[in-house]
Structure 1
């Protein structure tokens, strides 16, 4: 655990690391304790997390309503201390509507491979009413990438997924479904499948895999 102070403090227990900051810090209160706010915490983590993990953290902050992507970018641009460059790069990749860490990781896999950025949780409308949402989509090409976590293994959920995806495929969509083993063990294969699908729809794709997990 890391603790930050504005004065000299020695660690009093195993697993604790104390840091002294000489500059004024954004202060919030949570459960009665003073803590750094979302933007300050994001900036501090920029020197400890890689780009992908930092963007995942930023997406979670946004999903919880703690801060907006625009506010996060402005905070990092205003920052003049250590971690400025890394925090700005990550903040510019933070998005709304991402609902899980694997969704963020899948999106970044596409972006860092050179594929145009997909829309997060794109609404699929029928008669002007949202019927489904696609994890990641390129709606202009009717291509979607969906991540199935373990809860999709439940028989009732699997049946719902099959019905939903058949309906969308019948409507002309290409639906690529991946699981943890694809995202983490074969990211190049995921990039290849998405690239092939987009090219089949007339999209110009030039990829170079720069995603390391």
Structure 2
């Protein structure tokens, strides 16, 4: 009969250094290879019964792997600020000040650059780039659309504002990255409620369409009709991203009734699915253009004012 793996009570439900557990006599090297423990990084393990998230990995890296003066950064920092979607296997991003040594480590992506006062904050004992520096970094490290996805999420938390981000960039004019940050911030919108909505909105704007309003409330004679993901209210055209209710048929039916009320109020609603966003955005874009054109929009002109800056 096989012996059950050793699970000392001191390590249950915890993340720990393997070498420390061995030096304390709690485990042996062979014990660490058992199914009771899950390796996160070299010499860093978690109880296999502990749900491991990207936040768990970030916290472990911040505690044991990065040098003094470094911080969890980029999309990983956004996770610790409570606003980004990542998976367990995503690499943890780290910012290391120039001149500080940090060897490569499996599971970490190390970026180097200047770090200003206030760029690093403490989140429950973990050094993390500030919301403003996080936006600067994602604008520098990611493509424009994905950078705006993260910035939208940070704005939605209320941890920073568009005016603050613009000021941060303008205070660093001439430094590599300031233009990229300004461009991303100018496309950002705190009203986005999901990464896919952000991607859809930014790609529409980059394709030359007027900027849509987010989470637009439609009413008639003072009565609420619906709230839509994206809208050009002057043209009565809306876009709805279909991806929320696949596991809830009741909610899906209610959502469809809501949108039918819009059609009855002379709105055109163009639907987008994850598959079309991924594989047929050009076809979807043509449909949106046709809907706007049918309501009087012409390229180069718009009756819709730009989104006001917060």
- Whether the TM-score (by the shorter chain) exceeds 0.5 is yes
Q: How far is 1:110 from its partner?
A: 1.2
Residue of structure 2 equivalent to 1:47: 140
The question of whether the paired residues in 2 share the 8 Å contact of 1:121 and 1:133 is answered with yes
**TM-score, length basis structure 1:** 0.88
Which protein, 1 or 2, shows the higher relative CO under an 8 Å CA cutoff with sep ≥ 6? 1
Q: How far is 1:16 from its partner?
A: 2.9
Q: How far is 1:21 from its partner?
A: 4.0
Q: How far is 1:195 from its partner?
A: 0.6
| CA–CA distance in structure 2, aligned partners of residues 22 and 181 of structure 1 | 40
Which range moved further: 193-202 or 10-19?
Answer: 10-19
The question of whether the paired residues in 1 share the 8 Å contact of 2:94 and 2:109 is answered with yes
| CA–CA distance in structure 1, aligned partners of residues 185 and 223 of structure 2 | 32
Residue of structure 2 equivalent to 1:11: 103
| CA–CA distance in structure 2, aligned partners of residues 68 and 110 of structure 1 | 23
Q: Match of 1:53, SS? A: helix
| CA–CA distance in structure 2, aligned partners of residues 129 and 71 of structure 1 | 36
Q: How far is 1:107 from its partner?
A: 0.7
**How many residue pairs get matched?**
206
Could you list the runs of 5+ residues in structure 1 that have no partner in the other structure? 207-213
> What CA deviation, in whole Å up to 9, does each residue of 1:158-185 have, x standing for no partner?
2112211111100111011110111111
Q: In 2 relative to 1, CA 38–125 (structure 1 residues): closer, same or farther, beyond 3 Å?
A: same
Q: How far is 1:125 from its partner?
A: 2.4
| CA–CA distance in structure 2, aligned partners of residues 20 and 115 of structure 1 | 37
Which range moved further: 5-14 or 174-183?
Answer: 5-14
Which range moved further: 197-206 or 107-116?
Answer: 197-206
Q: How far is 1:11 from its partner?
A: 2.3
**TM-score, length basis structure 2:** 0.62
| CA–CA distance in structure 2, aligned partners of residues 42 and 145 of structure 1 | 27
Q: In 2 relative to 1, CA 153–140 (structure 1 residues): closer, same or farther, beyond 3 Å?
A: farther
Could you list the runs of 5+ residues in structure 2 that have no partner in the other structure? 1-91, 301-310
| CA–CA distance in structure 1, aligned partners of residues 274 and 111 of structure 2 | 36
Structure 1 or 2: more helix by fraction: 1
In the alignment, does 2:287 pair up with 1:203?
Answer: no
Residue of structure 2 equivalent to 1:78: 171
The question of whether the paired residues in 1 share the 8 Å contact of 2:225 and 2:261 is answered with no
